[in-house]
Amino acid sequence: MSPVDAGPPIATVNPSTGELLQLFEPYDATGVEARLAVAASAVPLWAKSTFAERSRLLVTVAELLEGELPDIAHVVTTEMGKPFAQAKAEVVKCASGFRWFAENAEAMVTDEEVPLDASLGLVTYQPLGAVLAVMPWNFPLWQVVRFIAPAVMVGNVGLLKHAPSVPRTALLLEDLFRRAGAPDGVFQTLLVGTDQVPAIIADPRVAAVTLTGSVGAGRAVATQAGAVGKKIVLELGGSDPFIVLPSADLGRAISVGVQARVQNAGQSCIAAKRFIVHRGVADRFTEGFVAGMEALSVGDPFDPATEVGPLVTAAARDTIAAQVDDAREHGAAILCGGEPVVGPEGPDRPGFFYRPTVITGITPAMRVATEEVFGPVALLYTVRDADEALAVANRTEFGLGSSVWTNDPDEQQRFVSELQAGQVFVNGMVVSMPQLPFGGIKSSGVGRELSAQGLREFCNVKSVWVA
């Protein structure tokens, strides 16, 4: 790896107050080289490990997560601001995800015999080596589990370049694997800046790359990996439609819609962002939805009554404010919210809060019409019929998740077939789960995480033919 300056310190900032909590010096070229060397040494050893050994490691990590749940969740909430109850739920989900892969991976990547005019035809799945993951801050545990659990179970080793706002969480994850008994090099965190990533991707000891992040970051990584011929998986965000048709259970659509927009303060790739409502139920949906958004409690994420915590950084809050102000200046109607909020610590330590917001009257001239809105801001569209609902839903560069609310079987089948998205949830909120593949199309990325498809992404799918 070529020498690269380590760059400025990596900071942990409490988004509830804006207070600087800790600075970390990023690894310099020597530090990165040492970790790459350890990973390279671990590759052949871990590839020869048994599924029982891999499973035992993941189950032990799950047990540590469960046993230390409040402490781990406290780190997450302090570092990126999600309400403490949601942070605890993320820890539980991660433990469950580790257990699922520990219990199910072997069956999904066992050798498959293929009938051929030969004595043996076989498809076998073998590890690639060291996989570099460039991960975001919004689900700082679960995003990593989605990569490392399947990678480890098929015999790969992992290198984590986490978001710069969550270094404590990144180091915590490395420590969990160490205490669970992982051999040296099976999972390591790289505290490095973005400018150090290209050299790591180019290093011959790195076999593949996965990234969850912005479209720009994904395209940069794809270019870097493509230049050296390495496999990639990219999840690049979304502008998910939430479609409500006349036969829907309107009360449930409203309550779930509010949750789907503001979970994690709206900072989720698969959050419902564009609410596309049939004119026959638009007035009732709008009234209930706006009331639900206005009733949300915004404040201290450690307060059990809080439903919406701060955005992760001042820059994130300011981006949301600029998008909403742009919509307002171009004639949009702001039905509720539309402004930053001073946090519970008062004006001296205001934090990075933004009031839950509903916008309608959206036109193509507005930034919100084309950009992903990564915060508690809902865009509300009224449409004439199912045809227009589909047209509006698909009128975006993104194609990650989608939710459609209808009790008409024909409509359900049509939207499942015609929505341009990697996932379609009918009468429910889009979520990720180990059992189903997770990923998108168009500018939302390439490849899949989770499930059998995610396990096989970082395998050498080898064909065997014996005369």
Residues acting as catalytic residues: 235, 269
Among candidate residues 447, 450, 419, the one with its CA nearest the CA of residue 432: 450
Tokens of 141: 């545990």
Pairwise CA distance, residues 417 & 415, whole Å = 5
Cβ neighbours of 349 (radius 10 Å): 14
